[in-house]
Amino acid sequence: MEIRDRYAPSPTGLQHIGGVRTALFNYLFARSQGGAFILRLEDTDRTRSDAAFVQNLYDTFTWLGFRWDEGPDRGGPVGPYIQSERFALYRAYAQALIEKGAAYYCFCSAARLDALRAEQSLAHAKETGYDRHCRTLSPAEATARIAAGEAPVIRLKIPLKETTRFVDRLLGTIEWKNDALTPDPVLLKSDGFPTYHLANVVDDHLMGISHVLRAQEWLPSTPLHLILYQCFGWDPPVFCHLPMVLGLDGKKLSKRHGATSIDEFRSQGYLPEALINYVALLGASYEEGKDLYTLDELCSRFSLDKLNKAPAIFDYKKLTWYNDQYIRMKTDGDLAVLALPYGVKAGLFGEPGTEPDPGQRAAFTAAMALIKERVSFLHEIPEKIRYLFTEPPVPSASEFIPKKLDISKTIALLGMGRDLIEPLAVLGDAEAEAFIKERAKQEGVKLGDLMMPLRVALTGTRVSPPLFGTIRILGATRSGERVNRALAALRGV
């Protein structure tokens, strides 16, 4: 059997974690089986569908780094891959069900349906929904009413007093009594637009979809789809309803838990590798004792047999850990390229939006080695290294003074540190550390007492990226100027 699966989003909102997890699992399954991964846009909700959301979908998966084999932007043998371009197909197949007696025309007005719902609610009726009022209309009466100008919907004639049973690839055998299903759902609206159920089944069949991997929230729709497959005389695909994604509180993941749209994660400075790696583990396992996977490794290891039935818990702290790891694995040059837009936006090189000049760009790249171990997100980087590009204000005298020392001794230590700047500016970290340790020993001072005032003078704070790297990036001249400025401030206290 040729493996073909699909991601079929409705372009009515931004791409979010749940949708991306579904797309990723379909992609991984197709790749693990040598099959094809298809994108289909289910844009039948014309009031909410928007071209901006389609573009967001394309941008999201370009950023994540994986794409479909067939789709609206790539073409393929079973297009079009946009449902709004397939309406003639749906009308033809709905009409075929009418002719088979598996569906019927319904002329109930919106006012009648509203009154029916109100009546059922008032009576606290056990059976709710459509009352199958038009189910027994004769074909002749339906034809006459259409000829008279009435615009009906087409409803599925659900076989009553039967049970629909199927085997879900993950959940096992599931059965539903047909009389507990939505009563005779609409397949084709009066304006000719299909509903989700009809379009989904027709498209999956015509596109040769062999496996449907989707969220468990779609499980109640599956019996209706299986009835449709039976009515058409088609073999259904293998269904696999993926485990839910919950927050730490055990409730369905939503904005109240934190970022959920991929745009939010991007703006916060998550790396696509981290997001893919973590999302791939939400409800699936791969290899004991291994946490970090490339996309190719995930493709080779993915298996439906390794999916978990239990809901997956989305832990933002765990995702942050993954982001930490991937930031640390970047080369300084690669990390600088990723972080530069955040620096430009933050006004690191002048007014916000100003691009760096060659010297600033070189300093920015060199600074990555200083902060790589100190950040979890790309957006944190500009503030961590702003002192390299703008003169930090001179802190209060108390910030310079080491514990158990006074201001006069601090001034002496800072003067001593100034004399060390020129050799420190050209030494590597190991040589610089050995050099300053030896000088502290010669002067009879504690290493920490010597380094702290120097750090504050150069960076404006006691807590900063590594001192030796800072001196090398600033250079001996700028470093010396900052120390002199600090000494002048301290002497004026």
Convert the pLDDT of each residue in 235-247 to its tens digit.
999 999 999 999 8
Give the Cβ contact number of residue 118 at 10 Å: 10
Q: What is the pLDDT of residue 249?
A: 87
CATH class of 86-242: alpha beta
Q: What angle do CA 59, 64, 65 make, to 5 degrees?
A: 100
CB 312 within 8 A of CB 244: yes
Q: Which residue has the tokens 């850990």?
A: 321
- Which of the residues are catalytic? 255
CA distance to 242, 311, 330, per residue, from 288 (Å):
21, 20, 25
Give the Cβ contact number of residue 70 at 10 Å: 20
CA–CA gap between residue 254 and residue 257 (Å, rounded): 6
CA–CA gap between residue 5 and residue 32 (Å, rounded): 12
Residue 182 class from Cβ within 10 Å (0-12 exposed, 13-18 middle, 19+ buried)? middle
Instruction: Select from 9, 178, 158, 161 the least CA-distant residue to 83.
Output: 9
pLDDT in tens, 444-476: 999 999 999 999 999 999 998 999 999 999 999
CB 173 within 8 A of CB 163: no
Tell me which long-range contacts 423-431 makes (C-beta under 8 A, separation of at least 24).
Answer: 424/468, 424/471, 424/472, 425/471, 425/472, 425/474, 425/475, 425/476, 425/479, 426/472, 426/476, 427/468, 428/468, 429/466, 429/468, 429/469
Domain 397-491 has CATH 1.10.10.350: yes
CB 468 within 8 A of CB 424: yes
CA distance to 47, 404, 419, 442, 487, per residue, from 450 (Å):
68, 13, 12, 12, 14
Q: Which residues have C-beta within 8 Å of that of residue 219, sequence separation ≥ 6?
A: 168, 171, 174, 241
Between strands 103-106 and 4-7, the pairing is unpaired
Instruction: Select from 203, 54, 75, 183 the least CA-distant residue to 131.
Output: 183
Q: How far apart are the first and last CA of the chain?
A: 83
Q: What residue spans define the domains of the chain?
A: 86-242, 330-390, 397-491
CB 374 within 8 A of CB 450: no
Instruction: Confirm whether 86-242 and 397-491 share one CATH topology.
Output: no
Q: What is the pLDDT of residue 253?
A: 83
| pTM, to two decimals | 0.91
pLDDT lower than 50: segments of the chain: none
pLDDT in tens, 94-148: 999 999 999 999 999 999 988 888 888 888 887 788 999 999 999 999 999 999 9
**Which pair of tokens denotes residue 85?**
């371009």
